Amino acid sequence: MTAPQIDHRIGAAAVTVLDTEGRPLSHRDVVVEQRAHAFSFGNIGFELIPMANGEAGPSTANAGLWFDVFNTATLPFYWGPFEPERGRPGTERLRRTAEWFAAHGCRVKGHPLVWHTLTADWLRDRPADEVEAAVRARIRRETADFAGVIQAWDVVNEAVIMPVFRNERHRNAITRLAWERGRLALIRLAFTEARAAGPAVTLLLNDFDMSPAYECLIEGVLEAGVPVDAIGLQSHMHQGYWGEERTLATIERFARFGLPIHFTETTLLSGELMPSHIEDLNDYQVPSWPSTPDGEQRQADEIVRHYRTLLSHPAVHAITYWGLSDNDAWLGAPCGLIRADGTPKPAYEALRGLIKGEWWLPPTTMRTDAAGHVEVRGFYGEYRLSAAGRAASFPVTLPRTDVSLRLQGS
Amino acid sequence: MTAPQIDHRIGAAAVTVLDTEGRPLSHRDVVVEQRAHAFSFGNIGFELIPMANGEAGPSTANAGLWFDVFNTATLPFYWGPFEPERGRPGTERLRRTAEWFAAHGCRVKGHPLVWHTLTADWLRDRPADEVEAAVRARIRRETADFAGVIQAWDVVNEAVIMPVFRNERHRNAITRLAWERGRLALIRLAFTEARAAGPAVTLLLNDFDMSPAYECLIEGVLEAGVPVDAIGLQSHMHQGYWGEERTLATIERFARFGLPIHFTETTLLSGELMPSHIEDLNDYQVPSWPSTPDGEQRQADEIVRHYRTLLSHPAVHAITYWGLSDNDAWLGAPCGLIRADGTPKPAYEALRGLIKGEWWLPPTTMRTDAAGHVEVRGFYGEYRLSAAGRAASFPVTLPRTDVSLRLQGS
């Protein structure tokens, strides 16, 4: 097959370079380089939380690898671990983490505000009205406490299965609330509370269910006027890479609603695949699940195909890979981009080769014309132009950017 | 397991029997008998259309068997066969059929107003606006033309799969409209048009998809204020009887919305089952699919279990069995209650044994007390009391019926 087209990710800027006095810099060599992607290339930041909080740990070595490729960090707000004792949330630790990522130039996303798994166990036996009030208060608290530092929230996670979730002996409070009130009522109250934090934050509905069920849910949610900003699609591919055709068909079904699509949770394995007969991936427990040389080659090949496919569809605005290293990976699966020994897998290098290679403008010498013009083409994002020890920044955006840059001290 | 409880289907009437002058008929034998069920025990009436229209055919022999068990007829309004040439609908023939069923004391249901399968081929290449206008006009026409004689409509059939239906080389106009406008918008326009015929008709959303997708769709539809009166659940069990547990769990998920549940299309086979790996039942084509003695015993057993289970849940208000004889059955499957040679299968007798036996009050002699009272207990429905050549009718309804009957000439 031919490589997917991603020209719609590339823009141009007509730059007029001026010296510090504002005169065109004619016939001069300047160096242009990309500094950031507009597209969100994300990963979970869970492993770096200790480091962000000044604690020693294995995370230090991995942080460099993280920041070298990714620009958006997803942080864990699982209600149970976040607030194991009612009224004592782990706000400070995550706030420091979020600020640390922001200081590194990253966007930060919170995951999730409402989910039946890993929810607060102290709500399990409380009446529905109290559960609803607690859910509302928790959403108001988190969105307020992280205002300005978290730009996106997975507001409700996996609502399709939520009211009928059956993986526990004793039903959790969120499943029960979704059953009693309905998915749509729960989604509306959650988004209404989250929206109270302001219009600047991106609110996502997120699901792993790629069947028509999720389409039906979205139709109802949008019809009801719930303020959803983007549709989150999970792609944990523990049972094998979906392939280009299925991926594009899936995007097409959800792009129909006219909202941005975020691939919120992408996993590709570098070891054996999970058998296809497993329905709830959580049911698959193995004592050891190693990364293998063959698996690593396959993962590298597939991550390139997956990212190329996703970027080829204009509706996709963000991709979050779900895991940096194989340490503490969900289900123990070898889904990381770094081996347990800290060395990067081929998939890491392959992804870096796209995001910071093929899809990136490295420092490039260009020559201005008599009027001081250069034309810069590249992926949407932030760029820097320098000449003779002075520099200025500019964006490449849609529509075509037209900008005059007065160089400042670099 | 213990037999499901269906006491909630049984009511009582306190009847005071009066003579023609209005005096209590004391200490007298009277005969009480049930005349009709309030519950809708339906079947398709497709086979009887020729007979209803005065044409000779095999249907005559089967009509007696039909009326002996069923009280609600579903008639076929598949758009393609109903209106093969635009502007020339088969209204007259179906109207005569509906009136004929009504004259036999039956309720009549139309199926379906909007469905992607068997739809009008002459719309296939028309623009979406024209398709929408044609859908609206068709619904207005049918509901108006059959006002007073059809009491229930499957307004939209199989909306979950509708926009993503992929069983044709060239996409039909209804699938295309559902894709472009969305399921919910299409459902709303269809129900809005159907509702224009008045509030007395029961409007159903009907689907075979028992997954959370249909729940999600219903949540959105109800949230959007679409005037759905009842939820239709299909139960074509070509791949095997669902069993009591799955059936009740399914009902429970859909009863949650507070609307009556109609089992709109029930099939149980009296031959080999379809292999479980077939996803779209239409894909299964065999040259011959005979009814077998073992299969007929199994079908008889299962139909009793199925009907008992459905009646045990208070949310279920109607059951339509999908087929009378094996002639012209969908897919050629042996799903009828009458063999191709016209003899009743054990399932027919078993179902009759419930509907007109165990769940029915046959003519029963009772004795009035000094005040002319008798107490009648039985399934909700219409009853008749007679004494000395005179008679009167009364209902058994919820709440308990209190009625004085003045006997008239029988």
Q: What is the pLDDT, as a whole number, of residue A408? A: 77
CA distance A345 to B194: 61
B/e letters for A270-295, b = 16+ CB within 10 Å, e = fewer, are: bbbebeeeeeeeeebeeeebebeeeb
- Chain A residues in contact with B224 (beta carbon < 8 A): 220, 223-224
Closest approach of A224 to chain B, Cα-based (Å): 6
Interface test with A, best of B156, B192, B216, B223 (most A CBs within 10 A): B216
- Chain B residues in contact with A179 (beta carbon < 8 A): 256
Closest approach of A100 to chain B, Cα-based (Å): 40
Question: Is the bond preceding B81 in cis, omega lying within 30 degrees of 0?
Answer: no
Closest approach of B206 to chain A, Cα-based (Å): 15
In order along its 410 residues, chain B shows pLDDT tens digits of 456 789 999 999 999 999 988 999 999 999 999 999 999 999 999 999 999 999 877 667 789 999 999 999 999 999 999 999 999 999 999 999 999 999 999 999 999 999 999 999 999 999 999 999 999 999 999 999 999 999 999 999 999 999 999 888 889 999 999 999 999 999 999 999 999 988 999 999 999 999 999 999 999 999 999 999 999 999 999 999 999 999 999 999 999 999 999 999 999 999 999 999 988 888 888 889 999 999 999 999 999 999 999 999 999 999 999 999 998 788 899 999 999 899 999 999 999 999 999 999 999 999 999 999 999 999 999 999 999 889 999 999 987 788 888 887 65
**Are A182 and B219 inside 8 Å of each other by CB?**
yes
**Are A183 and B219 inside 8 Å of each other by CB?**
yes
For chain B, the residue count is 410
Residue B223's H or E segment, with its range, is helix B212-223
Fold (topology level) of B7-35+363-406: Immunoglobulin-like (2.60.40)
CA distance A233 to B41: 44
Residue B67's H or E segment, with its range, is helix B59-69
Nearest Cα neighbor of B28 from B365, B405, B364, B368 is B368
- Chain B residues in contact with A216 (beta carbon < 8 A): 160, 183, 213-214, 216-217, 220
Closest approach of A324 to chain B, Cα-based (Å): 33
**Are B164 and A219 inside 8 Å of each other by CB?**
no
- Report yes or no: B224 at the A interface, CB cutoff 8 Å: yes
**Are B160 and A221 inside 8 Å of each other by CB?**
no
Interface test with A, best of B183, B209, B223 (most A CBs within 10 A): B223
B window 169-188, beta carbon within 8 A of A: 179, 182-185
- Report yes or no: A214 at the B interface, CB cutoff 8 Å: yes
**Dihedral over alpha carbons A90, A91, A93, A99 (to 10 degrees):** 160
Ordered mean pLDDT values, 10 residues apiece, chain A (410 residues): 80 93 94 97 96 81 93 98 97 98 97 97 96 98 96 98 90 96 96 93 97 96 96 97 97 96 98 91 89 97 98 97 90 94 96 98 97 96 94 89 79
Q: Amino acid identity of B351?
A: L
- Chain A residues in contact with B217 (beta carbon < 8 A): 216, 219-220
Indicate the residue of A184, A209, A256 with minimum beta-carbon distance to B223: A184
**Spans of all domains in chain A:** 7-35+363-406, 39-358
B232 neighbors B214 (Cβ within 8 angstroms):
no
- Chain A residues in contact with B219 (beta carbon < 8 A): 182-184, 217, 220
Interface test with B, best of A171, A219, A226, A259 (most B CBs within 10 A): A219
Residue B352's CB: how many other CB atoms inside 10 A?
17
**Are A216 and B211 inside 8 Å of each other by CB?**
no
- Report yes or no: B133 at the A interface, CB cutoff 8 Å: no
- Report yes or no: A212 at the B interface, CB cutoff 8 Å: yes
Q: What is the pLDDT, as a whole number, of residue B166? A: 85
CA distance B296 to B348: 10
Fold (topology level) of B39-358: TIM Barrel (3.20.20)
- Chain A residues in contact with B182 (beta carbon < 8 A): 219, 256
Q: In terms of C-beta distances under 8 Å and separation of at least 24 residues, what long-range contacts does A136-139 make, across chains too?
A: A136/A189, A136/A193, A138/A79, A138/A83, A138/A113, A139/A113, A139/A114, A139/A190, A139/A193, A139/A194
* ∠ CA A70-A76-A82, rounded to 5°: 155
- Chain B residues in contact with A163 (beta carbon < 8 A): 215
DSSP assignment of B100-131: HHHHTT-EEEEE-SB-STT--GGGTTS-HHHH
A356 neighbors A68 (Cβ within 8 angstroms):
yes
Q: What is the ipTM of this complex?
A: 0.85
Closest approach of A215 to chain B, Cα-based (Å): 8
- Report yes or no: A221 at the B interface, CB cutoff 8 Å: yes
Indicate the residue of A160, A179, A253 with minimum beta-carbon distance to B216: A160
CA distance B159 to B152: 18
Indicate the residue of B185, B212, B223 with minimum beta-carbon distance to A213: B212
Question: Is the bond preceding A363 in cis, omega lying within 30 degrees of 0?
Answer: no
Interface test with B, best of A179, A216, A256 (most B CBs within 10 A): A216
Interface test with B, best of A158, A180, A223, A259 (most B CBs within 10 A): A223
**Are A160 and B212 inside 8 Å of each other by CB?**
yes
CA distance B348 to B351: 5
Indicate the residue of A209, A215, A224 with minimum beta-carbon distance to B224: A224
Size of interface A-B (CB pairs under 8 A): 72
